[in-house]
A and B are shown apart, each in its own frame.
Chain A
Amino acid sequence: MQIESTRLGTIEIDKDRIINFPQGIPGFLEEKQFVLIPMGEDNPFFFLHSVTNKDLSFIVIEPHIFFRDYELMLSEELIESLSIDKPEDVAIYTIVTIKDDIKKATTNLQAPIVVNAVKLVAKQYILNDSQYLTRQPLFPQKSNTDEVAVTNEASMSGSGAKEE
């Protein structure tokens, strides 16, 4: 089927890949159906695009690509409400926030989108007491540019830090 997208124009989507968010998404509770659209080959970003609202798409990533140690415990209630049968059925995405500069992009590790990839039901699951941030920088600031790295080095030697 085809959907309209302000960002992408008219796009063809597979209606068997529509993901249902029975409770919507915080800030957009009336939006219940989305599709994942990869931005490109070797590109870690996806659009999570509303099926019914052409203006609405989020930028999401698979958090493990950026944060290898990222882990979360799914509550029994979540497992039940998404009808999850086994761990391999679960896919996790996190929403990315970008103002103007991609280097300053952040992602919400405290409220991952948990998807039952078999039954195509999902929820943005807010972790209550989380060690993770709602705005975790995607890219470590010091490796952004040489200039920033130099500044870091200078401040480290100034503070008496030893070289590794």
Chain B
Amino acid sequence: MTIFPQPEQELIAGYVLGNLSPEEQQLFNQLLQAKPALDTEVERLQATLGLLPYALPDTEPGPTPALRARILQAAQATAPPVRQFPWTQALIGLAAVGVVVLGLDNYQLRQGLTTTQAQLAQERDVLAMLQQPQTQLVTMKGMAEGAQASGSILITPGTSEAVLLLQNLPPLTEGQVYRLWRVFANQPEARGDFTPGPQGTVFIKLPAAATLPGGVLAVTIEPTQILPKPTGPMVMTSGA
């Protein structure tokens, strides 16, 4: 604690209380220039004054329980604005990429109105996920044959579905699929099969349980029949 001489302390107190005369105010300003540490003292005196309400007697009847219920009800009716965390920007960027990819997918593959509506619904789903502040992004990296592949999994804790968004996957031969595995304690469990579009793009929904935290996700090339363990080459992983 910095000790100031008594006259200076009184000047600081007067400033905090807003009761300086014009001459005193001038003195205070000069003092502040000369001793920047005075600033801290001002803050502490303001904080001291701010403590007064703690001394109010708590013998008065407090707020009624109905008030608590009223506040929570009113709050529920008005969701707080979702804050933009820095990574949300990255997610929105990713969504833009995803939407472009989907656009290509739409154009080249599906001309039918029904399908387009399904795509729009998917885009809406992704955008809705991106608006959830707790949505997490798991990056998938390409390796070996899939070195050019990239993408992400969007997971919103507390919801039942996750979204897998990949691109530049190498084409498959007939009778092959890509299979997603969750590897936990060295035990791989198959979590879903998929085949990419002509541009190597994938956009599918998965049960959220497929992406539980604590394990590593991997993508391998497999024959269409389900086998207990991966047999083909690993082309993508979420591991570091």
Whether A associates with B in a native complex is no
Interface residues of A (CB under 8 A from B): none
